[in-house]
Amino acid sequence: MNEFNQIIDAYQKNMFAQGQQPINVSALYQALPDINIKNDSEESLYHVAARFADAQAVKFLKDAGLKPSTDKYGNTPLHALTTTRYDFKSEQLETKAAQIYDTATALLEAGVNAKKKNDSGKLAYYEAGLQYMYPFLQAMADAGIKMNATADEGKNLLHTICDKLVHRKDLPGAIEAATKTARILLEKGGIDPKDKDIFETTPLTYAQRSGVKEIAALLSGNEADTATGGMTIHEAVLNRDVTAVEAIIKSGADLDEMSDHYRRTALMLACEYPSAPMVELLLNGGANVNYRSGTGETAAFCLITKGISNFGRGMSQDLKDIVSMLRSLIAKGLDMDAEVNHEGDTVLNLICQAGYLADLNTQLAEEMVEAGCNINKPNLAGKTPLMSFAARGNEAKYGIAELLLDNNADATYVDKTGNTALMYAAANPDKASAKTITGLLLDADTSTLEKVNNAGQTAMDIAVNNNNEAVVKQILTVTE
């Protein structure tokens, strides 16, 4: 044990010698009376030589007849090599890289099993790859060793490296070292870059999400394409990559192409995951603001129905961007009276149906009204925006019923179930809103008081059935 520690001490002193005469570690090995010594963790001299990247010591031990073994935790000397001092930011990186390569090669020649997992289930080359220790992997590749094992979540080494890049890409030297590592795995590691993990995700997608387009370009097969990193317009929008979107638009890509995976155009995605800068880029690039998906949905539909709930997952950080995005869609020719879903709703009808749009309900409705939309256009069920809001809207908070009526909304319209806006207001579960909207409707027109719906009910009947006492009193006041 004393000899074992002497060798370790010598290595450590040499690391900090700072110009002094280094200790001859090779002489210490040669002077050992027994090379089979181990420490308390059952590490052999191979482990020590590997930890300090001493290829000559490994060769000496091999020639002396020492057989490689694992320590008490199942670590091979190759595992020990992954703990050597390795700084990909160092100016002496290439010197260290050569030492690691030579040591890894010597360990393989000594008979160390590169595919041996330790007791924690870790492979040495996998651990080396996570550190971007490319000379280690180069030695494996030159020895013909495949490095295509998968770990947690079905991720191979390329998956994991690209996934974790997002947290390490800003470290000096990290991208260059990671690129060299990825190149070895791609060209000689036996990994199919199209392999998917349990999330159906490839290494390329992880690299794109991490924003490391040098590696993404390498994996895409077009290493020169560092502007987009192999991203489609849809992926570039979702990855918030303005540079990539600009490059793709400039290349003449079809901006209205539907993604097979997302079932959306790029503009729809920019609205669904609110990104005001992306919306501007795409609209100015010629994206069709009125394009409809196979389900009849449009970019405006995505903005109103998905944008609020997904806020923060795009580029926008100010909720008012939702309003400005709708304004941009209108400015670029939004067909404000078009059906935006299979229910035949217009954008205004969607807004009036929504219970909560981050308190942007009024502003969004005002944008549509001021832009001149058809306030009275019904959906396929015959419900107008006024009816939709009267049914569940919070008038005290949003004042949308008053906005619509002030702009000539038809209070007498009858839908396919025979209901009027007054009937919907009588059933509004928000009793305060029911009262306020009823008052507004009666001020506008009282002719619907005697109307009977398809169920044989008047507005009074509906108010009574829903215990809307204030509405009942209002109706009685008018009819007396």
Q: What is the dihedral of CA 231, 177, 163, 84, to 10 degrees?
A: 170
| Residue 93 falls inside a structural domain | yes
Do 111 and 67 meet the contact criterion of CB atoms below 8 Å apart?
A: yes
Per the structure, the count of domains in the chain is 1
d(CA 308, CA 257): 24
d(CA 49, CA 53): 6
Please, how many CA atoms are within 13 Å of residue 203, restricted to the half-sphere of its CB?
Answer: 28
Do 107 and 145 meet the contact criterion of CB atoms below 8 Å apart?
A: no
| Residue 347 falls inside a structural domain | no
| Residue 92 falls inside a structural domain | yes
Q: What's the pLDDT score for residue 46?
A: 97
**Tens digit of pLDDT at every position of the chain (480 positions):** 588 889 999 999 888 877 678 889 999 999 999 999 999 999 999 999 999 999 999 999 999 999 999 999 999 999 999 999 998 887 788 999 999 999 999 999 999 999 999 999 999 999 999 999 999 999 999 999 999 999 989 999 999 999 999 999 999 999 999 999 999 999 999 999 899 999 999 999 999 999 999 999 999 999 989 999 999 999 999 999 999 999 999 999 999 999 877 789 999 999 999 999 999 999 999 999 999 998 889 999 999 999 999 999 999 999 999 999 999 999 999 999 999 999 999 999 999 999 889 999 999 999 999 999 999 999 999 999 999 999 999 999 999 999 999 999 999 999 999 999 999 999 999 999 999 999 999 999 999 999 999 999 999 999 999 999 999 999 998 876
Residue 125, domain CATH: 1.25.40.20
Q: Which letter does DSSP use for residue 189 in this model?
A: S
Q: What's the pLDDT score for residue 1?
A: 59
| Residue 249 falls inside a structural domain | no
CA 69 to each of CA 38, 124, 173, 285: distance values in angstroms, whole numbers, following the listed order: 10, 14, 34, 63
Domain that holds residue 8: 2-145
| Residue 132 falls inside a structural domain | yes
d(CA 423, CA 461): 9
| Residue 78 falls inside a structural domain | yes
| Residue 134 falls inside a structural domain | yes
Say what the pTM is: 0.79
| Residue 53 falls inside a structural domain | yes
